[in-house]
């Protein structure tokens, strides 16, 4: 039993009760978008043409307003969202990165279960050798999903684990390899260098890998997520994003801002702590929940 909205006025009400547009309705809308963490600049960029249409009476009621805004946001998210077919590689090597505690390891557990369900042979690689019991956590997920795992001792070199993991996956005929990495803040230069090293050692083990690098973003994150996306992308080239903890009250609007600035598709959203709580990202549905 989850009771939504502790403090927010549901925007649905706003659209139902206020059909006539006033100055206030635009401000209220702006407030809703900002409180969804979309960021002031993105909100202003989106609202400006819409507000102009309101002024020119091209938009006169809230239904039209909603449609116009939805379209504007779809334009931002959709183009980057298209072309989401995964490269056809065997094994397909996916590296998962992100700041501390966003949900990388859990998401890998969910992905493993998901790929397994599609009949794929999956291997997990425990390249977070730093955080206490990170390996044990991933082992439990591997066991739950019924997939294999490659691990080394605690505090061993993550690049070496990645090398062995990819090599083992190739030798054992795996379809998908997912590499878990330690959480790190994007501003920690040494740790970002370590990610580059992990990439290089994947490439040494299997040229061209990792084929995909997925950045996990916590829906609770505010404007800092823009900096996260930028710096991870600059360091190692991000090919997809996963938005977690969408089952809470935070809207995750920050991903709209990220799409505003860079060209990376959002692949999945996380909706809970269980293996099945993973969905493919649906732009329209996501936008609908935003305002």
Partner 1 sequence: MFESLSDRLGSVFKKLKGQGKLSEKNIQDGLKEVRLALLEADVHYKVVKTLIAAIKERAVGQEVLESLTPGQQVVKIVNEELTNLMGGANEEINLGGGHPASIMLVGLQGSGKTTTAGKLAVYLRGQGRKPYLVPADVYRPAAIEQLTKIGKELSIPVYPSDTDSKPEKIAELARIKCAQEGCDTMILDTAGRLHIDDELMAELGRIKATTPPSDILLVADAMTGQDAVNMAKAFNDAMDVGGVILTKMDGDARGGAALSIRSITGKPIKFIGTGEKSNAFEAFHPNRMASRILGMGDVMTLIEKA
Ligand X SMILES: Nc1nc2c(ncn2[C@@H]2O[C@H](COP(=O)(O)OP(=O)(O)OP(=O)(O)O)[C@@H](O)[C@H]2O)c(=O)[nH]1
Bridge partner list, 20: 61
| Burial bucket for residue 170 (CB in 10 Å: 0-12, 13-18, 19+) | middle
For Mg ion, the closer CB: 65 or 138: 138
Give the interface size with partner 1 as a residue count (CB under 8 A): 53
- Which residue is closest to ligand X by CB? 183
From the list 75-83, 114-122, 126-134, 149-157, the region that binds ligand X by CB under 6 A is 126-134
Question: At closest approach, how far in Å is the CB of 9 from partner 1?
Answer: 11
Buried b (16+ CB within 10 A) or exposed e, 78-94: eebbeeeeeeebebbbb
**In 10-121, beta strands by DSSP E:** 92-97
From the list 39, 91, 183, 253, which residue makes contact with ligand X (rule: CB under 6 A)? Answer: 183
Is 272 one of the binding residues for ligand X (CB under 6 A)?
yes
Contact flags string 9-38 toward ligand X, x per CB under 6 A: ------------------------------
From the list 16-24, 79-87, 128-136, 158-166, the region that binds partner 1 by CB under 8 A is 128-136
Residue 240 interacting entry, from Mg ion, partner 1, ligand X, none, C-beta within 5 to 8 Å by type: none
Angstrom distance (rounded) from CA 66 to CA 18: 12
From the list 66, 104, 260, 267, which residue makes contact with ligand X (rule: CB under 6 A)? Answer: 104
Own/partner pairs for 59-64, CB < 8 Å, 24+ apart? 59/21, 60/21, 61/19, 61/20, 61/21, 62/14, 62/15, 62/18, 62/19, 62/20, 62/21, 62/25, 63/15, 63/19
Angstrom distance (rounded) from CA 131 to CA 208: 28
- Nearest one of 148, 155, 93 to 127, comparing CA atoms: 155
Residues forming contacts to ligand X in the complex (CB under 6 A) are 98, 100-106, 128, 131, 134, 182-183, 185, 244-245, 247, 270-273, 277
* Binding residues for partner 1 (CB under 8 A): 1-8, 31, 34-37, 39-40, 99-103, 109, 130-134, 136-137, 139-141, 185-188, 218, 220-227, 230, 245, 247-251, 254, 273
């Amino acid at each position: 039993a989850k009771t939504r909205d502790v403090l927010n006025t549901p925007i649905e009400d706003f659209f139902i009760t206020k059909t006539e547009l006033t100055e206030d309705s635009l401000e209220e809308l702006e407030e809703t978008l900002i409180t969804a963490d979309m960021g002031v600049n993105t909100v202003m960029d989106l609202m400006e043409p819409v507000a102009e249409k309101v002024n020119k009476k091209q938009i006169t009621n809230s239904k039209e307003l909603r449609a116009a805004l939805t379209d504007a946001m779809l334009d931002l998210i959709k183009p980057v969202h298209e072309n989401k077919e995964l490269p056809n590689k065997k094994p397909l090597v996916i590296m998962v990165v992100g700041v501390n505690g966003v949900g990388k390891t859990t998401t890998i557990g969910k992905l493993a279960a998901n790929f397994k369900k599609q009949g794929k042979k999956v291997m997990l690689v425990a390249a977070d050798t730093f955080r206490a019991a990170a390996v044990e956590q991933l082992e439990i997920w591997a066991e739950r999903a019924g997939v294999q795992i490659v691990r080394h001792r605690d505090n061993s070199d993550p690049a070496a684990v990645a090398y062995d993991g990819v090599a083992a996956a190739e030798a054992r005929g795996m379809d998908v390899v997912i590499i878990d990495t330690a959480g790190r803040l994007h501003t920690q230069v040494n740790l970002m260098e370590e990610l580059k090293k992990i990439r290089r050692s994947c490439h040494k083990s299997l040229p061209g890998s990792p084929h995909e690098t997925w950045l996990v973003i916590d829906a609770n994150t505010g404007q800092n997520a823009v900096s996260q996306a930028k710096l991870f992308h600059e360091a190692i080239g991000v090919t997809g994003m996963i938005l977690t903890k969408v089952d809470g009250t935070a809207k995750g609007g920050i991903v709209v801002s990220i799409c505003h600035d860079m060209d990376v598709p959002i692949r999945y959203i996380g909706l809970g702590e269980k293996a099945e709580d993973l969905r493919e990202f649906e732009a329209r549905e996501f936008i609908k929940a935003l305002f």
